[in-house]
Amino acid sequence: MRIAGVGHAFPPHFYSQEDLLAAAEAQWADKLFHRERIAQLFSNVLVGGRHLSLPLADYAELASFGEANDAWIRVALEVGAAAIERAAAAAGVTLAEIDALFTVSVTGLATPSLDARLMNRLPLAPSLKRVPIFGLGCVAGAAGIARAADYVRGFPDQVAVLLSVELCSLTLQREDLSIANLISSGLFGDGAAAVVVSGAERRGDGPRVVATRSAFYPGTEGVMGWDISERGFQIVLSAEVPEMVEKHLRADVDGFLAEHGLARGDVRSWIAHTGGPKVLAAMQRVLELPADALELTWKSLREVGNLSSTSVLLVLEETLRDRRPAPGSPGLLFAMGPGFCSELVLLEW
């Protein structure tokens, strides 16, 4: 099983963090006791700019969850189709050759699902197996690769595609003055990415998927997620997220690597989700990584923010393009998310 190609797509509306801060101050500054808190939070996340689904002025026109979700469907189809087309081109496969499509998102809802709507937009095979997955959040990029790999393990002559679409800006709660909502308004951006995973009987020069591991931590439902109501998606983002990294990640990684005769020092590429500065610092610390091990993850955070499940796929794409280690080198792709849980994917370059 190999990762044969990756492609991404962003909405055309990009704003610097300074422009987004000005908009947030206009929205909230007169409602907060400490007006300078917004600027501090926007600075602390170390994001330089983000793509948004809509022009900035249009967000004030979204009067309901239904209107925001309609925008999600429209933009998700645009960026999702583009990401699939680019990933397929990178892998050298036609859209009609795709046998299974796994779609992940946690920022919008659609029935018929996003993958079904893409069937009417792209020349995909009518026999395509569709697997829409909702609710995994930030971990879904890694989990989606793992599930696509599971599929082609059973069908080694076939090709599976993972599509992640996250339009976080469309979940913004303008009346929520919680620290979690203020942080998320400065951290999360919009975009999509797709990954082609080919079976062992297909050609490909990308990294081989050696093994995958899921790890669930009982009793941690309140660490991260959404409260969903008539107002839409309201962020749940606990200060315990870095603690989850500190408590669990090292043992999970060490145990997984040991099963395959490896240790952390053998890994030559670390492809991590852009969870935010505190999360990344905790990952770096508990895994005792070299200073530059997560360089591409930090770079992605600075350039486009945290895109939930899409982020780790952007880091994977840049690693494929610019930072491939020597052939045969081990790599580890990983993410953490609501549940609370981890997903680990062992690669061989």
Give the model confidence (pLDDT) of 44-70 as tens digits: 999 999 999 999 999 999 999 999 999
Rounded to whole angstroms, how far apart are CA atoms 108 and 69? 6
**Residues 78/165, Cβ–Cβ less than 8 Å:** no
Our CA dihedral for 234, 239, 242, 245, rounded to 10 degrees, sits at: -70
Kindly report, residue by residue over 294-308, the tens digit of the pLDDT. Answer: 999 999 999 999 999
User: Which residue has 């990584």 as its token pair?
Assistant: 289
pTM, whole model, 2 decimals? 0.95
Q: What is the CA radius of gyration of the chain?
A: 19
Identify the CATH number of the domain defined by range 208-348: 3.40.47.10
What are the residues facing 335 on neighbouring strands?
Answer: 343
Q: For position 4, what pLDDT does the model report?
A: 97
Instruction: Say how many C-beta atoms besides its own lie within 10 A of residue 323's C-beta.
Output: 15
Q: For position 33, what pLDDT does the model report?
A: 66
200, exposed or middle or buried, with CB in 10 Å at 0-12, 13-18, 19+? middle
Residues involved in catalysis:
138
Q: For the chain, first and last CA: distance in Å?
A: 12
* Positions of the chain with pLDDT under 70: 33
Q: For position 13, what pLDDT does the model report?
A: 98
**Residues 226/233, Cβ–Cβ less than 8 Å:** yes
CATH architecture group of domain 2-198: 3-Layer(aba) Sandwich (3.40)
The reply to whether 2-198 and 208-348 are identical in fold is yes
Rounded to whole angstroms, how far apart are CA atoms 334 and 311? 11
Q: Is 348 helix (H, G, I), strand (E, B) or coil?
A: strand
Instruction: Say how many C-beta atoms besides its own lie within 10 A of residue 216's C-beta.
Output: 10
Rounded to whole angstroms, how far apart are CA atoms 162 and 267? 24
Q: For position 289, what pLDDT does the model report?
A: 97
Rounded to whole angstroms, how far apart are CA atoms 81 and 71? 15
Domain ranges of the chain: 2-198, 208-348
**Which residues, 6 or more positions from 262, have their beta carbon under 8 angstroms from its beta carbon?**
330, 346
Element containing residue 149 per DSSP (H, E): helix 140-154
Q: Identify which of 138, 136, 105, 137 has the alpha carbon closest to the alpha carbon of residue 280.
A: 138
